[in-house]
Structure formats: C-alpha cells, structure tokens
C-alpha cells in the first residue's frame, strides 16, 4: 500500500509542478453522513495538501439524515459520493447509474446490539421483538438478513416489529426496543457511554452472521468514466484519498483533530473522534482501495436473497470497475 501510494504522490506532485500555471481541477465529494472520523481520510487528504499536490481542488460536503448521496450526484450536486453498496445498487436498479471505482473499507462495521436482559441469544430469538433499524438506505442489509432468516418484518409473534430508529441509541436506553442498529465505530460506544458494560449487551455483527455488505465505497456516475479527463481526475482523487487514509491511520490523534476542525456544528468531541478513528482503521485494514470482487458478489448474493421483497431484483452489470484503480497503480 505505502509503495504505490508514495509513487502516486510523486506522480501527483510532478503533475502539479507541470501544470502550476493552470487552475487545479475542481471536484466535489458528497459524504454519506455528517463530519466525523468515518471520513477522516478525505479531510486529512485535504488538510495535508494531498489533493493540492494531485492538482485537485476538492470540496467536501457533509451528509446528514435528509441527504441521500445517490440523489445528490444524480442531481449534479457532486462528482463523487461515499455510499454503502446496498444503497448504491438499489439506486442503480432504479435508474441512477452509480459505479464503484474504489473500496477503502474492507470490512463492515454494522451490528445489531441488544440488551442481554431481554433473553436474546441467537437471531431466532428476534421473533416477537422490537428491533431498531436505520432507514435512508441503511435498512437494506437488515431487511436482507431478516429475509434470509425467514423472519417477517411486519410484526407479530413470528416476526419482528421494526422501529424506525433515529441516528442515536435512545430506543435501547429507554427500553423502547430490544435491539438497535449500531456501528462498531460509533453508536455501540454511545451505548457504553450511556452506562452499559459489554457484559450487559449481546452483539450480532453482520460480518459474523455472514450477511455483511460493503460500506463506504467511492462511487461516480457511469458517464464520468467515459470522459478521459474526468477519469484522470478521479484516479488522482483516489490516490490522494488513500494517502489521506494511510496518514490518518498512522496519526490517529492528529486525524481526529483535523476532523474536529472541519466540524462546523461543534457537536463532536475529541475523545469520541479519536476512538472512532481507531475503529474505522480496523475496517480499512491494509486496503489500497482495490475492490474485493468476491466481497462485492457476496453483497449482491445477500441482497438478492430477499424473498418476496428483495433489495435488488437482478444481478447488476457494470456496477463496479477496476479502471480507475488500474490508472492509480499505473501512476
């Protein structure tokens, strides 16, 4: 990873020197969620000048509960988006031609966290329970999982009652739900910070359950790949972004501080962002941005196994490409 990123960095600096008289190429990145360490690599790449060295002027737009990245890019509000593959594939089937060009996250951080006192020990114990689920595209992995288990999501003794969960863990704390959606790097720690100990909880990690789907990939519209100038710009963006991730994971305290500097809301805390950076780096591992096509196919298989209401209805074609990563590696 370090070798080719260093080579890409050198190439990018050469490009910058050669085109010093020209304005940097503009690129707008739409994040999936609010400013936090989940996106530290991109903020670090901008703060440390990695994008500038790649002759790029990158604008980073934070997301939120009312922002759907596929809709933003379809409407021309971004050139690149960070999205989970289930939501990207669902959007593609509905007519938004998203394509995965790089995959920094190797593992899923998604979990279902339950209060142990409810007696839930296995997924079969979900029947008759109330489960908190995120929507806005985040519900797809859960719905696919329940379908594979044969558990209805319309309530009843044999099914589960789905509580449309806000982006917090209040339903678990207030005992409105037996389990809630959490991420390893965020909401799980909100539960711990609320006074629960790990022994008070039962956690079902989507990866361990064999239903994990790819998260936080880098997506563009198909038309961007057909434009050679844009493809070159995207390759420089991916290379600089992966440099950002490498730096962030090797300098987690500094990366968290950079994230905080970019948090216009002032809602984040240093302790939480440092901890989140460490957990995020576990999901990235030694990724160089290359998509594991086997993991992508597993994601597709999981989504197609949706019974009468699958997330997608047909195996996608052209939903990912190695064209940009090949350019990066050839720098």
Closest to 72 (Cα-Cα) out of 26, 29, 27, 41: 29
Q: Which residues contact 84 (CB under 8 A, 6 or more apart)?
A: 32, 137, 138, 140, 141, 213, 214, 215, 216, 217
DSSP 50-117: HHHHTTEEEEEE---TT--HHHHHHTTS-SEEEE-HHHHHHHHHTT--EEEEE----S--EEEEEEGG
Q: What is the pLDDT of residues 81-93, one digit of tens each?
A: 999 999 999 999 9
Q: What angle do CA 309, 310, 316 make, to 5 degrees?
A: 150
Do strands 130-133 and 161-164 pair parallel, antiparallel, or not at all (unpaired)?
Answer: parallel
Structural domains for the chain: 2-107+213-329 (3.40.190.10), 110-205 (3.40.190.10)
Q: What per-residue confidence (pLDDT) applies to 138? A: 74
pLDDT at 250: 98
CB 30 within 8 A of CB 73: yes
- Nearest Cα neighbor of 270 from 250, 243, 252, 248 is 252
Q: What are the helix (H) ranges across 221-269?
A: 222-225, 228-250, 252-261
Cβ-in-10-Å burial (0-12, 13-18, 19+) of 301 comes to: middle
* Local structure of 219: helix, strand or coil: strand
Token readout for 266 is 């002032």
- 33 is written with which tokens? 């969620």
101, 220 Cβ separation under 8 angstroms: yes
pLDDT given for residue 78 in this prediction: 98
Residue 15, pLDDT score? 54
Helix (H, G, I), strand (E, B) or coil at 52: helix
Residues of the chain with pLDDT under 70: 1-21, 137, 306-309
Model confidence pLDDT, tens digit, residues 227-243: 999 999 999 999 999 99
φ, ψ of residue 130 in degrees (nearest 5): -105, 125
Each residue's pLDDT tens digit, 12-58: 555 544 444 478 999 999 999 999 999 999 999 999 999 999 999 99
């Amino acid at each position: 990873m370090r070798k080719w990123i260093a080579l890409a960095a050198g190439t990018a600096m050469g490009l910058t020197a050669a085109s010093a008289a020209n304005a940097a190429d503009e690129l707008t990145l739409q994040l999936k969620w609010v400013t936090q360490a989940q996106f530290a690599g991109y903020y670090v790449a901008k703060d440390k000048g990695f994008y500038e060295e790649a002759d790029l002027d990158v604008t980073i737009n934070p997301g939120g509960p009312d922002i759907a990245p596929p809709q933003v890019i379809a409407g021309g509000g971004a050139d690149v988006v960070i999205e989970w593959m289930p939501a990207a594939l669902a959007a593609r089937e509905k007519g938004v031609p998203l394509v995965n060009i790089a995959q920094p996250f190797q593992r899923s951080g998604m979990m279902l966290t339950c209060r142990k006192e409810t007696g839930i020990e296995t997924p079969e114990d979900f029947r008759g329970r109330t489960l908190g689920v995120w929507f806005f595209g985040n519900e797809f992995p859960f719905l696919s999982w329940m379908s594979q288990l044969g558990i209805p999501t319309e309530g009843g003794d044999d099914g589960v009652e789905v509580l449309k969960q806000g982006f917090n863990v209040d339903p678990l704390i207030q005992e409105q739900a037996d389990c809630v959606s959490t991420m390893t790097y965020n909401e799980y720690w909100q539960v711990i910070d609320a006074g629960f100990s790990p022994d008070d909880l039962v956690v079902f990690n989507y990866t361990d359950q064999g239903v994990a789907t790819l998260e936080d990939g880098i997506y563009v519209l198909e038309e961007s790949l057909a434009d050679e100038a844009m493809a070159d710009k995207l390759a420089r963006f991916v290379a600089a972004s992966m440099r950002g991730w490498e730096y962030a994971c090797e300098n987690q305290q500094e990366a968290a501080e950079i994230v905080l500097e970019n948090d216009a809301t002032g809602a984040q805390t240093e302790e939480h962002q440092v901890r989140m950076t460490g957990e995020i780096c576990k999901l990235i591992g030694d990724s160089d941005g290359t998509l594991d096509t086997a993991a992508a196919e597993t994601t597709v298989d999981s989504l197609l196994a949706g019974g009468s209401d699958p997330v997608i209805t047909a195996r996608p074609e052209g939903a990912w490409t190695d064209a940009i990563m090949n350019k990066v590696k050839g720098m």
